[in-house]
Structure 1
Amino acid sequence: MTPLISIALIHFFALISPGPDFFFVTQSAIRQSRSHALFAALGISLSILVWSICAISGLHYLFQKMAWLQQVLTILGGIYLFYLGIQLFKSALSKPQDSVSPAHALPSKSRLTLLLQGFLTNMANPKALVYFSSVFALAINTDAPLSTQSSLLFLIWIESLVWFALVAYLFSWHKMNAYYQRFSNWIDGLTGGIFISFGCYLILNRN
């Protein structure tokens, strides 16, 4: 049980460091609704489950043998994050600065769309790529019994889902929505800039 707790602690600190996943869930919560944000959180947690399975299956060794594959995934992830950032910038520029409209008046995405986008956002997350191919992969014991590996996967998935569901809950409060309406252009623009920065770094970085 001790190895499971150790990995759970490592994963918790990886989760709470802000990144594209965090900003995507918060945007979903304040621009759509709590239920929409929960679907985004579910999509992210499912992606983390996929990454965990890949790590147990030898992701670290695969990238050692096929370094080009990691480069390709990094560039594709950068392009996707850049695309999300551009969409947020377009949203910020399309609304008059002095307009204040209720959150439900914003163009609404379906919950399944947010689930898919949450999944893809985590798959494109540079932190996830580095973390699961290095720290997480080296922390697990690939020779552990199947029952132990299954328990680990379930623990990581639940831990991820609970964390991002909590983020979705907190940022969907009425006060958060009211704050967003006052500064929506700035918030969308700042978040878009963060996504574009992540994307450009992934596309241009060759180290």
Structure 2
Amino acid sequence: MTLFLGIALIHFFALLSPGPDFFFVSQSAIRQSRSHAMFAALGISLSILVWAICAISGLHFLFQKIAWLQQALVILGGLYLFYLGIQLFKSAFNKQASVQQLSTAIPKSKITLLLQGFFTNMANPKALVYFSSVFSLAINADMPLTTQSSLLALIWLESLIWFALVAYLFSWHKMNAAYQRLSKWIDGLTGGIFISFGCYLILNRD
């Protein structure tokens, strides 16, 4: 029980730190709908589950043996976040579009949002560092299979509940009304955040 509580607390505080995942879910909620944002949250939680499985399987030791692999994943993640930021910037600076057009400028299916949520988390620098270091050291492959499975279920459910809560809060009518008024600023700010994350990952070599 102590192990589960410790992992739950560590993961909870990791989730609280805002990053690309948080901004992607909140943006999906205010640009489209609560149900769309829930699919984005599901995609992110599934990606977190994949990271957790990799951590249990020895992600930390893999990166120690193949140092260039982590750098390659970081660069690819940076490029993906940069791409998402550019798409939001295009929406923000499309001065020909009306408010109504902006809200539907890039229609996305729920499956598209699920996949984008998945890849946004896979490209998230926080996820890469967290699961290859802190999380990898907290659990190991020597644990019984039942314990590993329970921990994976815990991490997945905790992540899904957190991002579902974000989706719920940001899909309130007042949030949508505020977005209609400030859509260009919100898109521009979110795009800038994504581009900043992407540039940092691509250019940072420390």
Cα RMSD of the aligned pairs, angstroms, is: 1.4
Match of residue 202 from structure 1: 201
Deviation at residue 108 of structure 1 after TM alignment: 1.8
- Secondary structure class of the residue paired with 1:197: helix
**Per-residue deviation, residues 117-172 of structure 1 (Å, max 9, x unmatched):** 00000000000000000000011132110000000000000000000000000000
Match of residue 78 from structure 2: 78
TM-score by length of 1: 0.96
Structure 1 position 178 matched with structure 2 position 177? yes
Q: Identity rate of aligned residues, in percent?
A: 81
Q: Given that residues 56 and 137 in structure 1 are in contact (C-alpha distance below 8 angstroms), is that contact kept between their aligned partners in structure 2?
A: yes
Match of residue 147 from structure 1: 146
Task: Give distance in 1, aligned partners of 2:46 and 2:104.
Answer: 29
Match of residue 38 from structure 2: 38
Please identify runs of 4+ aligned residues in structure 1 that moved more than 3 A.
Answer: 102-107
- Secondary structure class of the residue paired with 1:192: helix
Q: Given that residues 74 and 125 in structure 2 are in contact (C-alpha distance below 8 angstroms), is that contact kept between their aligned partners in structure 1?
A: yes
- Secondary structure class of the residue paired with 1:101: helix
- Secondary structure class of the residue paired with 2:29: helix
Specify whether residues 87 and 105 from structure 1 end up closer, same or farther in structure 2 by C-alpha distance, changes over 3 A only. closer
- Number of matched residues? 206
Structure 1 alignment gaps of length 5 or more: none
Q: Given that residues 103 and 177 in structure 1 are in contact (C-alpha distance below 8 angstroms), is that contact kept between their aligned partners in structure 2?
A: no
Q: Given that residues 44 and 119 in structure 1 are in contact (C-alpha distance below 8 angstroms), is that contact kept between their aligned partners in structure 2?
A: yes
Structure 2 alignment gaps of length 5 or more: none
| Mapping 1:123-134, distance limit 5 Å | 123-134=122-133
Task: Give distance in 1, aligned partners of 2:106 and 2:85.
Answer: 17
Deviation at residue 100 of structure 1 after TM alignment: 3.2
Q: Given that residues 28 and 40 in structure 2 are in contact (C-alpha distance below 8 angstroms), is that contact kept between their aligned partners in structure 1?
A: yes
Match of residue 117 from structure 2: 118
Task: Give distance in 2, aligned partners of 1:132 and 1:124.
Answer: 13
- Secondary structure class of the residue paired with 2:106: coil
Q: Given that residues 45 and 118 in structure 2 are in contact (C-alpha distance below 8 angstroms), is that contact kept between their aligned partners in structure 1?
A: yes
Specify whether residues 28 and 79 from structure 1 end up closer, same or farther in structure 2 by C-alpha distance, changes over 3 A only. same
